Amino acid sequence: MTTQHRQSIASGKPYLVVAPAVGVESSLEAFLGDAEFSIDTGGEPLVISGHGVTHGELVRFHEKDAIGGKDVRVWHITQRSGGYVAESQAAF
């Protein structure tokens, strides 16, 4: 049996987005609908896949375990200083 090792993510801690969704103009719209991006966790970048929706001035992104799968965690993505920050939220 294969064991999956997921990196530990701190709720509410801002993580720098290092690779937003490709093929879309640089804006929060890159995170809407089915999308994928990477965050800097201090080691290797962690790829986040799921579905994003507009939530006021940010994107609420539901990370999925597979396409159309179960929610893993919820992220709030905001634009800051020419880049993007993703924060894991404790509530679904």
Q: Name the residue with higher pLDDT: 90 or 4.
A: 90
Mean pLDDT of the chain, nearest integer:
84
Number of Cβ within 10 Å of residue 83's Cβ equals 12
- The mean per-residue pLDDT over the stretch 25-31 comes to 82
| 52 pLDDT tier (thresholds 50, 70, 90) | very high
- Supply the pLDDT for residue 82: 75
Strand-pairing partners, residue 17, are 39
- Supply the pLDDT for residue 4: 44
Residue 3, pLDDT above cutoff 50: no
The C-alpha atoms of residue 53 and residue 13 are separated, in whole angstroms, by 20
Specify the residue for token string 């809407």: 32
- Supply the pLDDT for residue 36: 92
